[in-house]
Amino acid sequence: METLLINESLICTFQFWREGKVLKGMRFRNHLFRHVAQFSHQERYQAFDLAWKLCQRDHGAIVTTSALNYTVWLNLRSPATGDPLLAANASPAAPAVR
C-alpha cells in the first residue's frame, strides 16, 4: 500500500473522545483518521518512514502537509490500537491509544 501526501487545506479536522482522552481527528474522502505524529519540514523523512511502516502493517496511514509541518494520520478503522509504532511516535498533542 502506498502512502498518500495530502495538502492540509483539503481536509476537515475535528476532535473526538476515545477511552478517556480527547484526540485530534480528520476527515478526507469519507474516511476518518486520527492524529499520530507531527514532524517539521526538516523531519520529512521520519514522517514518511512512519507512514510507510504503518501502511506495511495494513494500518491505512496518510501524510498531510502544511506550510509548517508534516502530519501522520491513521485510519480510525485500523486495527492498530496498541501498535508499538504508535506508542513510540505519539506526541503530547496526540496521545497513543492504549
**Residue 59 phi, psi dihedral angles, 5° rounding:** -95, -5
| C-alpha span between 71 and 34 (Å, rounded) | 10
Share of the chain above pLDDT 70, in %: 79
3-state secondary structure at position 62: strand
Selected residue with higher pLDDT from 92 and 87? 87
Judged against a pLDDT cut of 50, whether residue 97 lies above it is answered with: no
Residue boundaries of the structural domains of the chain: 1-22+63-72
| C-alpha span between 78 and 41 (Å, rounded) | 27
Which set of grid coordinates corresponds to residue 22? 480527547
Strands across the sheet containing 69-75: 4-7, 61-65, 69-75, 31-40, 21-28, 12-18
Report field, pTM of the whole predicted structure over 0.85: no
